[in-house]
Amino acid sequence: MTKRKMKIFGMAMTGVLALSLSACGGGGTTNNAAGGSGSDPAASGGDSASGEKVTITFQNIYPDASDPKNKMMKKIVDQYQKDNPNVTIELDSLNTDQQKLKLKTQAASKEVPDITVVNPAAQMQPFVDADLFAPLNDMVEENGLKDTFQSGILDYYTFDNNLYALPDGNNIGVVYYNKKLMQEGGVEVPTTFEEMVAAVKTLKEKGIQPMVIGEKDSWTGSFLFMNILLRTNGGPGFLQEVLDGKKTFEDPAYVEAITAFQQLVDAGAFQDGATSFDYNAGENLFKTGTAAMYFMGSWATGGIETAEVSKDGNVGVFQFPTVGGKGNPDEFMLAPGSAFAISKDSKHLEETKDFLNYFMLNFPKEAFDVKGAVGIAQNVDGDFKAAGYSEMAMNVLDLFKKVKGGDLAFDNTMNPATTQVHLSGTQSLFVEKKDPAAVAKELQAAYEENK
């Protein structure tokens, strides 16, 4: 190659490099001009009954056409459009992860869709702080919508007495178990954590996989861990007390929970390589009947119900037991679901509110009809048994009736940065023998750093 050719070649290389760099920088570049949150308080809306053509964008997380929720949503939307010919509802259906990313990008450029989906409490706090959502206080009173919601559930979406979102679900953490495998292993449903560890050992000896978990998505292990903490703390509110400065993560309750969790791991409760299984892969192990027990939120009920393993009522549920004699099994991990919020800058605020009101009013009935009413946030009229809900679904519903409070998942209470440290700390318990006190200390340091 001559000198000149080399030069051209060098330039080409620079081009390649620069192009690839643009991929590098992608993470941090979706933002534009920060700050300046308070755009004028949306005097938009227009006349709601003017008959003017209106298009509402409805971002949602029901993308799967085979999912009953998707059909249900389309049915309600179609009905509304028929009743209000001037309104067009545009669906933007995404899966959960995509939606989270898309909303963050949209929020950064202040282009939040008319209706979007957020998660409760601490997770929606940044969006509320950035003043992106319209308060729904007046709207929820209309047509008696507020009374359809279970008492207390709306609190998780309320900030400074303003309600900003309406939830589609309300779930609790339960343990599903495979009756046949439990019988083969000769173990009973455990009523204490110690029995649970013993049952795990017995099952393991008989060559039965005691429990499964999809720990690649580290929230799964955290959800279980938090339930243990709910017990060792003797009741709910540990994280709140940390936030209030009354406790630290080095509190005995937290350390004890880590120790208990390690016992479970050491007893060989979880499948080999658990940290490389994502949520779906982990759940599939239970659904295909390879494991005896599975701790998960009650949202898994629908999927497990229709799986092979549930044939002949083979799957049961039980409450997470006491740990070291502490705690009350009637206190559950609470998982208020994702919720619909309305953009403050929506061009058609009134119409959007009217539609969401209609949507949520019809939600429970339609969900009931497609057998999706276990774990929704609203009260349902109707006889579940007569409607053909399975025995396991009925058991889950019975557990709902027992709920006497509980805790939210870690990420719904703490800021994202602390959450990540907690998640990876919990994940490390699956693969390494660590000193519980050290794990707790590391988390406390991270919490103070990111307070």
Partner 1 sequence: MNVLKVSRWTIAAFILPCLIVYVGLVFVPILVSLYSGLLDWNGIGQSTFIGLENYVKMFTRDAVFWPAVRRTFTLAGFSMLVQVPVALTVAILITRFVRRPNFLVSSYFLPVILSVAIIGQLWKTIYNPASMGGMINQILTSVGLESWTHSWLTEPKIAIYAIILVSLWQYLGYHILIQFTGIQNIPSEIYEAAKIDGADGFKADRYITLPMVLPILKISIVLSFIGSLQSFDLIMVMTGGGPAHATEVLASHMYNMSFLTMQYGYGSAIANVLIVMCLVATVLINLLFTRMEKRYS
DSSP 188: P
Of 14 and 88, the one with the shorter C-beta distance to partner 1 is 14
Of 214 and 375, the one with the shorter C-beta distance to partner 1 is 214
Q: How far is the CB of 417 from partner 1 (least distance, A)?
A: 4
- Which residues have CB under 8 Å from 55's CB, separation 6+? 87, 88, 89, 90, 348
> Applying CB under 8 A, which part among 7-15, 140-148, 153-161, 346-354 lies near partner 1?
7-15
Q: How far is the CB of 284 from partner 1 (least distance, A)?
A: 11
Residue 39 binds to partner 1 (criterion: CB under 8 A): no
Tokens of 98: 């995509």
Residue 160 binds to partner 1 (criterion: CB under 8 A): no
For the CA atoms of 424, 429, 435, 441, the dihedral, rounded to the nearest 10 degrees, stands at 20
- Which residues have CB under 8 Å from 443's CB, separation 6+? 249, 418, 421, 422, 425
| Strand pairing class (406-408; 332-336) | parallel
Sign of CA dihedral 69, 70, 73, 79: negative
- Interface residue with partner 1 among 61, 170, 200, 216 (CB under 8 A) is 216
> Applying CB under 8 A, which part among 23-31, 137-145, 228-236, 251-259 lies near partner 1?
23-31
What type of residue is 195? E
Question: Could you say which residues in the range 93-152 bind partner 1, by CB under 8 A?
Answer: 101, 104, 107-108, 126-127, 129-130, 132
Radius of gyration of the chain (CA): 25
Question: Could you say which residues in the range 412-441 bind partner 1, by CB under 8 A?
Answer: 416-417, 419-420, 424-425, 427-428, 430-432
**Residue 105 to residue 49: CA distance in whole angstroms:** 33
| Count of residues engaged in binding partner 1, rule: CB under 8 A | 58
- Interface residue with partner 1 among 9, 50, 90, 387 (CB under 8 A) is 9
> Applying CB under 8 A, which part among 31-39, 192-200, 356-364, 377-385 lies near partner 1?
31-39
For residue 178, the cross-strand partners are 315
By the 8 A CB rule, do 241 and 249 touch? Answer: no
- Which residues have CB under 8 Å from 126's CB, separation 6+? none
Distance of CA 198 to the CA centre of its chain: 30
Question: Could you say which residues in the range 247-306 bind partner 1, by CB under 8 A?
Answer: 271-276, 278
- Interface residue with partner 1 among 7, 8, 11, 37 (CB under 8 A) is 37
Residue 23 binds to partner 1 (criterion: CB under 8 A): yes
Binding region for partner 1 (CB under 8 A)? 1, 6, 9-10, 13-14, 16-32, 34-35, 37, 101, 104, 107-108, 126-127, 129-130, 132, 215-218, 271-276, 278, 416-417, 419-420, 424-425, 427-428, 430-432, 449
